[in-house]
């Protein structure tokens, strides 16, 4: 179902005419009653009846007066048939028997402008367990949905916790209202599904022999290192699912990412060990370079002549000094070299 715009009449003109009709009805009642007192029964009775009928049913035009604020829309149906949508802000008059429809009007999501503080997950408050239809407008503003954190296994099977924030808006009110039962609930469920589908493709950290792009080649994609790419793929995944609901996903961002509590301590030790190994590797590479430079400088300047045994001892001592965790305590030899 595609959205169509209603060409509604100006509401101010109808309001003025309706008020004037009530004034005229009171005047007819007074004039008709006076005519009955004077004996003009037929004319007075007709005028009196017209005035009373307008007093009883003249309020109906008031039911058709609608006020639309900026970034709001009103989806209208007449006897179960979709008649159109009011999008432009203003004061309008529509068929008094038209009913505005928004099944998601009572649904509360953990998002900007529509937050329920009783929980992080979406909540639905209805009367008698069902969504009631009434004077409900569909918001066209950009809103941010922040679903609760999920625990998902990554590519390597490690459980990770991840939370996302999705900025979205309604672009087709007819699809949003009629194609799905509740477009807010539908969006929230699709967000959860998309996060699970994408996160399971990536490892938390860069891992060897892992293909995250589907081209058959190992790459360096990871949840932690490629968060922008992962977020874009999540956005595209959600957009493909909510297209029929008339929603546009503007942006998706990862707001929380961490290992699950049951393996967080182990993974922290693993990261610390990896960092220590990398640091030691750098220290050893630097120490070997410094020892090589020292030996070359001694040979070039003929400072001292060392045989292979003394060179090995010197290299050993220099490596101990340069690679040790503590400061070396030198022993000064005041005698001969040998």
Q: 9 falls in which pLDDT band (50, 70, 90)?
A: confident
Q: Pairing relation of β-strands 81-86 and 9-10? A: unpaired
Q: 187 falls in which pLDDT band (50, 70, 90)?
A: very high
The proportion of the chain whose per-residue pLDDT surpasses 70, expressed as a percent, equals 84
Q: Mean pLDDT throughout 106-127?
A: 48
Residues of each domain in the chain carrying CATH 3.30.479.30: 102-259
Lowest average pLDDT, out of 117-121, 279-283, 305-309, 328-332, goes to 117-121
Please say whether the beta carbons of 148 and 48 come within 8 A. no
Q: Is the pLDDT of residue 239 over 50?
A: yes
Q: What is the pLDDT of residue 176?
A: 92
Q: Is the pLDDT of residue 160 over 80?
A: yes
Q: Is the pLDDT of residue 123 over 50?
A: no
Please say whether the beta carbons of 169 and 247 come within 8 A. yes
Q: What is the pLDDT of residue 246?
A: 93
For the whole model, what pTM was predicted? 0.69
Q: What is the pLDDT of residue 40?
A: 62
Q: Does domain 102-259 have CATH number 3.30.479.30?
A: yes
Q: What is the pLDDT of residue 261?
A: 81
Q: Is the pLDDT of residue 258 over 80?
A: yes
Q: 276 falls in which pLDDT band (50, 70, 90)?
A: confident
Q: What is the pLDDT of residue 170?
A: 93
Q: Is the pLDDT of residue 121 over 70?
A: no
Which tens digits make up the pLDDT trace of 44-54? 778 888 888 88
Q: Is the pLDDT of residue 216 over 70?
A: yes
Distance set, CA 246 to CA 18, 33, 109 (Å): 37, 58, 18
Lowest average pLDDT, out of 97-111, 234-248, 278-292, 305-319, goes to 305-319
Q: Is the pLDDT of residue 273 over 50?
A: yes
Residues 6+ apart with CB under 8 A from 224: 204, 205, 257
The pLDDT mean for the chain works out to 81
Please say whether the beta carbons of 182 and 104 come within 8 A. yes
Q: Is the pLDDT of residue 125 over 70?
A: no
Q: Is the pLDDT of residue 332 over 70?
A: no
Q: 39 falls in which pLDDT band (50, 70, 90)?
A: low
């Amino acid at each position: 179902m595609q959205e169509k715009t209603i060409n509604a009449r100006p509401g101010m003109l109808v309001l003025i005419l309706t008020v004037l009709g009530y004034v005229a009805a009171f005047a007819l009642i007074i004039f008709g009653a006076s005519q009955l007192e004077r004996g003009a029964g037929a004319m007075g009775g007709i005028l009196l009846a017209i005035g009373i009928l307008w007093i009883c049913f003249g309020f109906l035009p008031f039911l058709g007066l609608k006020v639309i604020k900026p970034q709001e829309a009103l989806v209208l149906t007449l006897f179960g048939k979709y008649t159109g949508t009011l999008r432009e802000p203003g004061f309008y008059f529509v068929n008094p028997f038209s009913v505005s429809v928004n099944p998601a009007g009572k649904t509360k999501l953990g998002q900007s402008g529509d937050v329920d503080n009783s929980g992080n997950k979406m909540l639905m408050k209805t009367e008698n367990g069902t969504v009631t239809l009434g004077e409900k407008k569909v918001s066209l503003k950009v809103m941010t949905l922040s679903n609760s954190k999920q625990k998902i296994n990554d590519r390597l099977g490690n459980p990770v916790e991840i939370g996302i924030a999705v900025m979205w808006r309604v672009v087709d009110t007819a699809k949003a209202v009629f194609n799905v039962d509740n477009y807010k609930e539908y969006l929230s469920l699709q967000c959860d599904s998309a996060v699970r589908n994408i996160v399971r493709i990536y490892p938390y950290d860069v891992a060897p022999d892992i293909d995250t792009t589907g081209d058959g080649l190992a790459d360096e994609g990871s949840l932690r290192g490629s968060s922008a790419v992962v977020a874009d793929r999540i956005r595209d995944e959600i957009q493909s699912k909510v297209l029929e609901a008339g929603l546009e996903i503007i942006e998706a961002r990862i707001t929380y990412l961490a290992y699950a509590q049951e393996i967080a301590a182990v993974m922290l030790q693993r990261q610390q060990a990896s960092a220590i190994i990398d640091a030691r590797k750098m220290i050893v590479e630097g120490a070997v370079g410094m020892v090589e430079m020292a030996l070359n400088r001694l040979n070039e300047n003929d400072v001292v002549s060392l045989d292979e045994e003394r060179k090995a001892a010197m290299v050993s001592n220099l490596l101990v000094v340069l690679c040790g965790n503590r400061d070396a305590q030198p022993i000064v030899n005041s005698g001969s070299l040998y």
